[in-house]
A and B are shown apart, each in its own frame.
Chain A
């Protein structure tokens, strides 16, 4: 799964695309790992901009939960934002809105990280 990224202040925004399911979640976890390491070492946050994600299965949600737990155990944070309506509904149905930090937009997620991250986002 292609994982493009941009840094905004102390936050890194990653934008997975396509489907996150049984077939893709291992590759997603592998692609996510270096970003997770970098952010937790720097005490920053990872924002997953899910606007390009078309579908997430139970296995994919589990990947997101594990990543959020790994980040949390190393004093980092993973936030998810900008979900397409279908993905947002699946997250709600599975009650993952109670497990993950979910934001309507990427900007709102960055605002919860720091004012600097929002400013950097607004400048772009």
Chain B
């Protein structure tokens, strides 16, 4: 299975500004002072070898959209944030005119998780089939509402693809085209749902927009069960722990620290920090990643937990 991140930012898309680019360039030049490069290749190799990720890359700015490539002809994707535009272009290019079937799994319908759908190219192509899965009663209404006047010029009814909504039930496993899917209720305004996906002996958990009340031990145990032994856990790490349980308590999000703790308890193999705070720049996200890795090192049990931070374009093979 391959997991491909098309959108990793929380709440609102962000883009690098001219000032951000200048700052990265200036810091890179400073780090390279005294070096001599005789070719683009040498400079490129130095950048990759010697400079931090936050200077050579960006974590990116699209909101939640994560593809699971299972080897099946059909597509599987979590959430339709603004990353869905690029995901849609990928589907169309790969299909090269052949009809596509796309299975969407929705955590919830807050705007940052549905805003990419009006720009999702495959939805406009007749003969394509889109199945939107979710546990919310108002799932279909949310998608139709965002494509109603005066919010968007193309009405939902004008979309060319065959679109169906599939109601899932929490804690009840569901099989779709070879992929076993188990949704679980999460704490978030209006509720959200995490998913455990399993196929061919591999498991991925997608758990975003989820707040964890540390005093609720039964809730902790439910999540440990959802994450148990997972090859990959994609986790809402929007805030620091201090923010998440003080000034931003009840905002419906979690932290890098709780991600490490839950994954360690569940003996998951790889934690990916996700749903980055839009106010955080690349350096701040890189610091949150370093902190999470250090915490994992300090508190490691018998099994090491790999920790990464998601960025738009990241691919992880399981």
| Residues in chain A within 8 A of chain B (CB atoms) | 22, 55, 57-59, 61-62, 65, 86, 89-90, 93-96, 98-99
Closest to B290 in A: A93
Q: Which of A57, A65, A94, A96 has most chain B Cβ within 10 Å?
A: A94
Contact of B214 among A55, A62, A86, A95 (CB under 8 A): A62
Assembled-state Cα–Cα distance A99/B243 (Å): 9
Cross-chain contact B246 with A65 (CB below 8 angstroms): yes
Q: Mark B199-214, 1 if CB is under 8 A from A, else 0.
A: 0000000000000001
Cross-chain contact A61 with B241 (CB below 8 angstroms): yes
Chain B residues with Cβ below 8 Å from A99 are 242, 246
Q: Which of B214, B294, B295, B299 has most chain A Cβ within 10 Å?
A: B214
Q: How far is the CB of A124 from chain B (nearest CB, A)?
A: 33
Q: How far is the CB of A123 from chain B (nearest CB, A)?
A: 36
Cross-chain contact A98 with B298 (CB below 8 angstroms): no
Q: How far is the CB of A120 from chain B (nearest CB, A)?
A: 32
**Number of interface residues, chain B, beta carbon within 8 A:** 21
Chain B residues with Cβ below 8 Å from A95 are 240-243
A-B CB contact pairs (8 Å), 20 listed: A22-B217, A22-B220, A55-B299, A58-B214, A58-B245, A58-B257, A62-B215, A65-B242, A89-B294, A89-B298, A90-B295, A90-B298, A93-B257, A93-B292, A94-B240, A95-B241, A95-B242, A95-B243, A96-B241, A99-B242
Known: A93-B294, A94-B257. A59 touches B242 (CB 8 A): no
Closest to B258 in A: A58
Assembled-state Cα–Cα distance A96/B217 (Å): 22
Interface residue B74 (Cβ < 8 Å from any Cβ of A): no
Chain B residues with Cβ below 8 Å from A93 are 256-257, 291-292, 294-295
Given contacts A22-B217, A94-B257, 6 further A-B contacts (CB under 8 A): A57-B261, A58-B245, A58-B255, A62-B214, A93-B292, A99-B246
Q: Mark B222-262, 1 if CB is under 8 A from A, else 0.
A: 00000000000000000011110110000000011110010
Chain B residues with Cβ below 8 Å from A94 are 240-242, 255, 257
Cross-chain contact B242 with A96 (CB below 8 angstroms): yes
Assembled-state Cα–Cα distance A54/B311 (Å): 35
List residues of B (262-305) whose CB comes within 8 Å of A's CBs: 291-292, 294-295, 298-299
Assembled-state Cα–Cα distance A62/B241 (Å): 9
Chain A residues with Cβ below 8 Å from B261 are 57-58
Closest to B240 in A: A95
Q: Which of B242, B246, B298 has most chain A Cβ within 10 Å?
A: B242
Closest to B221 in A: A22
Chain A residues with Cβ below 8 Å from B242 are 61, 65, 94-96, 98-99
Q: Which A-B residue pairs are the 4 nearest by beta carbons?
A: A94-B241, A95-B242, A95-B240, A59-B214
Q: How far is the CB of A53 from chain B (nearest CB, A)?
A: 14
Q: Which of B215, B217, B241, B245 has most chain A Cβ within 10 Å?
A: B241
Closest to A89 in B: B298
Closest to B254 in A: A58
Chain B residues with Cβ below 8 Å from A62 are 214-215, 245
Q: How far is the CB of A76 from chain B (nearest CB, A)?
A: 18
Assembled-state Cα–Cα distance A77/B244 (Å): 22
Assembled-state Cα–Cα distance A74/B214 (Å): 24
Q: How far is the CB of B38 from chain A (nearest CB, A)?
A: 42
Chain A residues with Cβ below 8 Å from B291 are 93
